[in-house]
């Protein structure tokens, strides 16, 4: 251990190599569910230092777990007994090219910091979620994070033009061209995005920027049921020429959960409603959105398909509406035991899913309680179940039921949070076996020693990392 520390200190400096009590910050995840003390925490300051650390790890066959803001919920950044590589010092915004509307950033740049720098040029990086004050570029790329603005701007993958990655053997792969079109072989950039550090460590990226909206129209809208919500979204999109950036669903139970964590919060409407939608439109010129939204809502109110609506009249009211939605993680994790999921179904099946899932869960655990919140514009449901008792078999059965119904509706068990540790079982259960074999073959080709974030994402990788025979020969037959 001493010689390892000396080797690492020679690369990054003694102050950037942490052991003992100093690694406590990286010994648990944000949810508190996953715990594991790293062997050592290393804080490199450049891609060259990352590469040198990986060469040491490869020579010693030591696992390496990259971590950014440590805001994940699936245990993907846990590094028990591993070299944990935190990229927080690599937080330089190398360049903002306003004419091309791109930013060249290192992996440790925090989303809010990027937005603050881009705003000086009248631009923004449109990824939006509650952890934007601590989540970093490397982490959101590694998990292909989503958030509230996907309906307009897409996932993180859609916001990335170029990428810089250090491979397991310490080689640096530079794909940092800021190109919208590049057909020169395999798209290795997209291969690395969403790979959760299994194939390489992202150290920098070229990301897209967009003009800052000068006009926001934000509203809370109540409906008697969720059945016609997709039609409402389509009507608003048509009336506003596609200006909707967020279309979020919060049931009454979520509103009550918000009061549990924010007792001073206000009701969104004068009376409670079963369906509460947060809708936001944005444009780069003023005076065109408010009338469009009001006209649509007026017609729907008259028809009885919308039961109430409140439009924010100033930035304070807008922020109050968003604060309710952005408290989702705090609301969901306020109780234990908890089954937290991240499923997605086609937009026109969301209402049917929510109507069907609760009776199926109560058939397993009659005393369970449920909570949901959804990015309704892209079909992503964060469905939470609170079992009546802490029992491993019961928790697994409830999680399986939630995932099963999503798959029955041609959906997915993992929409935007990644796989990490928490979704290894559903990966084995639902993922196409040939797809799993191809993924394992790619992993074996790029990380033959299995040192990069072992035991995550790929079911079976945890046993391979422990020294079992590799699957390479069988996988080559698949390919």
DSSP 152-207: HH--GGGGEEEEEEE-TTS-EEEE----S---SSS-HHHHHTTSTTSS-EEEEEEE
Torsion angles phi and psi, residue 437, rounded to 5: -65, -40
* Distance separating alpha carbons of residues 381 and 450, to the nearest angstrom: 33
**Mean pLDDT of the 29-44 span:** 88
Tell me if 215-329 shares its fold with 337-427: yes
Q: Are 12 and 53 in contact (CB under 8 A)?
A: yes
- pLDDT score of 146: 86
Exposed e or buried b for every residue in 385-424, given b needs 16+ CB within 10 A? bbbeeeeeebbebbbbbbbbbbeebebbbbbbbbbbbbbb
The domain defined by 93-211 folds into 3.30.465
Torsion angles phi and psi, residue 215, rounded to 5: -135, 120
Residue range 227-246, pLDDT digits in tens: 999 999 999 999 999 999 99
**Alpha-carbon torsion angle 191, 194, 197, 198, nearest 10:** -60
| Cα angle 20, 25, 28; round to 5 | 105
* Distance separating alpha carbons of residues 195 and 216, to the nearest angstrom: 34
- pLDDT score of 417: 86
At residue 477 the predicted structure's pLDDT band, cuts being 50, 70 and 90, is very low
Residue range 413-461, pLDDT digits in tens: 999 888 988 899 999 999 999 999 999 999 999 999 999 999 999 998 5
The domain defined by 2-86 folds into 3.30.43
**Cis before 337 (ω within 30):** yes
* Distance separating alpha carbons of residues 398 and 367, to the nearest angstrom: 12
CATH class of the region 215-329:
alpha beta
State if pTM tops 0.85.
yes
At residue 271 the predicted structure's pLDDT band, cuts being 50, 70 and 90, is very high
User: First CA to last CA across the chain, in angstroms?
Assistant: 40
Residues of the chain with pLDDT > 90: what percent?
A: 80
- pLDDT score of 162: 97
Specify which residues 17 forms β-bridges with. 42
- pLDDT score of 79: 86
* Distance separating alpha carbons of residues 247 and 322, to the nearest angstrom: 11
At residue 472 the predicted structure's pLDDT band, cuts being 50, 70 and 90, is very low
Q: Work out the mean pLDDT of the chain and round it to a whole number.
A: 91
Residue range 345-394, pLDDT digits in tens: 999 999 999 999 999 999 999 999 999 999 999 999 999 999 999 999 99
* Distance separating alpha carbons of residues 340 and 337, to the nearest angstrom: 10
Q: Are 26 and 67 in contact (CB under 8 A)?
A: yes
Given a cut of 70, is residue 469 above it in pLDDT? no
- pLDDT score of 344: 96
Place of tokens 């194939």: 199
CATH of domain 337-427: 3.30.70.2740
* Distance separating alpha carbons of residues 431 and 437, to the nearest angstrom: 10
Specify which residues 217 forms β-bridges with. 281
The three-state secondary structure class of 356 is helix
Which residues contact residue 295 at a Cβ distance below 8 angstroms, ignoring those fewer than 6 apart? 239
* Distance separating alpha carbons of residues 260 and 343, to the nearest angstrom: 25
Given a cut of 70, is residue 475 above it in pLDDT? no
Residue range 303-347, pLDDT digits in tens: 999 999 999 999 999 999 999 999 998 999 888 899 999 999 999
- pLDDT score of 461: 53
Residue range 169-215, pLDDT digits in tens: 999 999 999 989 899 999 999 999 999 999 999 999 999 999 999 88
Domain boundaries of the chain, sorted by first residue: 2-86, 93-211, 215-329, 337-427, 428-478
């Amino acid at each position: 251990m001493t010689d390892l520390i000396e080797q690492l200190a020679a690369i990054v400096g003694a102050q950037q190599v942490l052991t003992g009590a100093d690694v406590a910050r990286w010994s648990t995840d944000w949810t508190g569910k996953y715990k594991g003390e790293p062997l050592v925490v290393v804080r490199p300051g450049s891609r060259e230092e990352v590469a040198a650390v990986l060469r040491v790890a490869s020579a010693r066959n030591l696992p390496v777990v990259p971590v950014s803001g440590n805001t994940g919920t699936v245990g993907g950044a846990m590094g028990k007994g591993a070299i944990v590589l935190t990229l927080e010092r690599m937080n330089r915004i190398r360049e903002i090219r306003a004419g091309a509307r791109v930013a060249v950033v290192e992996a440790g740049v925090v989303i809010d910091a990027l937005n603050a720098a881009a705003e000086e040029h009248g631009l923004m990086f449109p990824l939006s979620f509650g952890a934007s004050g601590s989540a970093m570029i490397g982490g959101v790329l590694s998990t292909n994070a989503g958030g509230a603005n996907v309906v307009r701007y897409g996932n993180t993958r859609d916001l990335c033009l170029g990428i810089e990655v250090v491979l397991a053997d310490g080689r640096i792969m530079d794909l940092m061209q800021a190109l919208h079109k590049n057909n020169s072989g395999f798209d290795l950039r997209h291969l690395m995005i969403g790979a959760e550090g299994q194939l390489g460590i992202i150290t920098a990226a070229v990301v897209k920027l967009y003009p800052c909206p000068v006009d926001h129209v934000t509203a809370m809208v109540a409906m008697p049921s969720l059945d016609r919500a997709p039609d409402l979204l389509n009507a608003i999109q048509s009336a506003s020429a596609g200006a909707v950036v967020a279309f979020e669903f919060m049931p009454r139970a979520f509103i009550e959960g918000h009061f549990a964590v924010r007792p001073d919060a206000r009701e969104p409407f004068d009376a409670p409603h079963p369906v509460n939608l947060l809708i936001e439109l944005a444009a780069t010129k003023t005076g065109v959105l408010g009338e469009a939204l009001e006209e649509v809502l007026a017609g729907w109110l008259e028809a009885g398909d919308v039961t109430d609506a409140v439009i924010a009249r100033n930035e304070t009211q807008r922020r109050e509406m968003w604060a309710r939605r952005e408290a989702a993680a705090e609301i969901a994790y306020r109780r234990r035991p908890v089954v937290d999921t991240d499923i997605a179904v086609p937009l026109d099946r969301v209402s049917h899913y929510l109507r069907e899932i609760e009776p199926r869960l109560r058939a397993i655990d009659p005393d369970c309680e449920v909570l949901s919140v959804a990015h309704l514009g892209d079909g992503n449901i964060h469905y939470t179940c609170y079992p009546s008792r802490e029992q491993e078999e019961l928790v697994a059965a409830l999680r399986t039921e939630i995932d099963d119904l999503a798959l029955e509706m041609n959906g997915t068990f993992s929409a935007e949070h990644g796989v990490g540790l928490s979704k290894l079982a559903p990966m084995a259960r639902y993922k196409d076996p040939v797809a799993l074999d191809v993924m394992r073959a790619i992993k074996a080709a790029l990380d033959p020693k299995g040192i990069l974030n072992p035991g995550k994402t790929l079911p079976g990788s945890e046993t391979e990392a422990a020294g079992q025979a590799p699957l390479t020969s069988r996988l080559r037959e698949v390919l």
